[in-house]
Copies of this chain bind each other. A is one copy, B any other.
Amino acid sequence: MLNASCLHRPELTAALASGDRKLDNLTVPYPRTFAAGTTIVQQGAEHDYVYRLRTGWVGRVRALPDGRTQYLMVFLPGDLFAIKSVFVAAHPDAVVALSDVTVERLAQHRLRDAFDTDPEIALRCTWQIVEEERRLHNWVVSLGQGSAEERIAHLLLEFSVRIGAATGTGRALEYGIPLTQDQLGNVLGLTSVHVNRVLRRLREDGLVSIRNRVVSIHDAPALERMAEPLRDATLQARARPETAAG
């Protein structure tokens, strides 16, 4: 499991997997379930658990005082979330179940002890945060520079890759998505109306369609071409390495 893109230094792979396995011993005995729409962690509240997502989709979302809302992260199975509980007292944003989900809970203080005594667990936790940072960087680029088309293409492809990686099969050309167009808008920084219009265009052009909460990628190369400018530069750089400067 662990992570999709495996951008970590190769010498860490074993330690990471080992750290992940060790989390099993720290989880509260029985997994817990939340129905779609449930708030798992309240915005602004203190919280004493960290979670490992087993099934379903979870989102971190911030509500602005005037009613606007923005999603900050979408978690898929295998992700650790609310890991900030270990370090900060209050969560500045809510964590909600986007679909029905099952999670394993880890008591914050126990994980914190393990963090101190077991470097592999510390590594696993830090890795999760580093990975989230990577996603956030891409998110900022997407929101700051991407057009609506580019953002949507990029997001649907990212889910495709992450789901594919989590399930072991390669990229998923068809996958369930629990997000409504309204939620997609709040992920992408767009209105649901515009999301709808762009999706229509993509559907009519035969690139991708969403029907009955299922994404079907019909023309992956074209979709990738569309999302290309927003693609994580790490991969591009690998294709044509450059010399480092002082």
Contact = CB atoms under 8 A, between A and B. Distances in A.
Contacts of A116: 119, 122
B88 A130 contact: yes
Interface in A1-27: 7-10, 12
A132 interface: yes
Contacts of A243: 42, 45
Given A236-B44, A242-B42, A72 B119 contact: no
A84 interface: yes
B127 A126 contact: no
Interface in A144-159: 144-145
B144 A189 contact: yes
A-B pairs with the 3 shortest C-beta distances? A44-B237, A144-B189, A143-B143
B134 A136 contact: no
Contacts of A89: 7-10
A93 B136 CA distance: 13
A137 to B, nearest CB: 5
Interface centre among A42, A92, A243 (most CB of B within 10 A): A92
A151 to B, nearest CB: 10
Interface of A: 7-10, 12, 39, 42-47, 60, 62-66, 68-70, 72, 84, 87-93, 115-117, 119, 122-123, 125-127, 129-130, 132-134, 136-137, 139-141, 143-145, 186, 188-189, 228-230, 232-234, 236-238, 241-245
Contacts of A91: 234
A140 B135 CA distance: 11
Given A189-B144, A189-B145, A8 B237 contact: no
A140 B136 contact: yes
Nearest to A9: B89
Given A47-B244, A229-B65, A234-B44, A90 B129 contact: no
Contacts of A186: 144
A46 B7 CA distance: 11
Given A42-B242, A45-B242, A238-B90, A228 B65 contact: yes
A240 to B, nearest CB: 8
Contact of A137 (B62, B69, B123, B134): B62
B237 A43 contact: yes
Contacts of A134: 88, 92
